[in-house]
Amino acid sequence: MSVRRLYEDQPASFAFTPENREWAEGQLRKYPRGREASAVIPLLWRAQEQHGWLPEPAIRHVAEMLNMKPIRVLEVATFYTMFNLKPVGKHFVQVCGNISCLLRGAEELMKTCEDEIGPRDTVNEDLDMSWTEVECAGACTNAPVVAIGNDYIEDLTGDRLAQIIAKLRNGEKIRPGPQNGRFSSEPEGGATSLLDKAAIFEAWKAYSPKLDDEEGETKEDEKAEPTLLADDHKEPELIADDHEEPVLVTDKSKPAELV
């Protein structure tokens, strides 16, 4: 894991807005007195949402609210890469660079970001956009994946990502989720089983309770006691353990030995 340091150019101060302050105090009430530190991650996240990134004054502000030493809050902020310790663009593209996405073309997506946005971890002021590489996004089935804001954009190609960046540049909305026609995480080449819907329904009926009428009355044969198998009447047995622990035999005239 790379070293994460605070940004050189820090704001003079930070304070939650009245609305965010009220929300933060509500989070604190979820925990017993003396356990306020449990709210450190949600409060840091709200501070980042308010400011756009997480500056040092925000870290100190959260530490004060939670009665924590600032260094302890800083440890959390620098450990989790979801906290941005330097400015990011309004549209922040996070490209998953883990194994599944790399095998499916993540390097092409990174090249597209360099061409369309600029160098990694640098804000393009004209576009108000930036991008970075992140660890596993947890959507391996739909690799390669990028996150833009709070949305996942999945099943991407370099060309498709370039189109999405162009839409963001023009202020247009983008459609999250798979970009190759998939609805969720079904096989890329289409379904390979359960293709006959009628057969699926008939199989479901065969294993579902049989009903006589619309009132849902169960048939008589459904009320019968289940048939007991021969083994069902057996009492549980205790199986003897024939293994004997070794006994230490001592003879003052001989060394001790195990038998």
CATH number assigned to the domain comprising residue 166? 3.40.30.10
Q: For residues 64 and 138, state if they share a domain.
A: no
Residue that terminates a domain, selected from 139, 162, 178: 178
Q: Give tens-digit pLDDT for 117-132.
A: 999 989 998 888 999 9
Q: Which residues of the chain have pLDDT under 50?
A: 211-216, 218, 258-259
Per-residue DSSP letters for 108-170? HHHHHHHHHT-STT--BTTTTEEEEEES--S-GGG-S-EEETTEEEES--HHHHHHHHHHHHT
Q: Tell me whether residue 26 is in a domain.
A: yes
From the number of C-beta atoms within 10 Å of its C-beta (0-12, 13-18, 19+), residue 116 rates as: buried
**Is residue 201 one of the residues assigned to a domain?**
no
CATH of the domain at 38: 1.10.10.1590
Answer whether 120's CB lies under 8 Å from 133's CB.
Answer: yes
For the chain, the domain total comes to 2
135 belongs to a structural domain: yes
- One domain for residues 95 and 159: yes
Its pTM stands at 0.67
In a domain, 142, yes or no: yes
Query: Are 134 and 58 found together in one domain?
Result: no
42 is in which domain, residue-wise? 18-79
Contact 120, 132 (CB under 8 A): yes
Instruction: Kindly report, residue by residue over 192-224, the tens digit of the pLDDT.
Output: 777 777 877 787 777 665 544 444 454 555 555
User: Is residue 162 located within the same domain as residue 105?
Assistant: yes
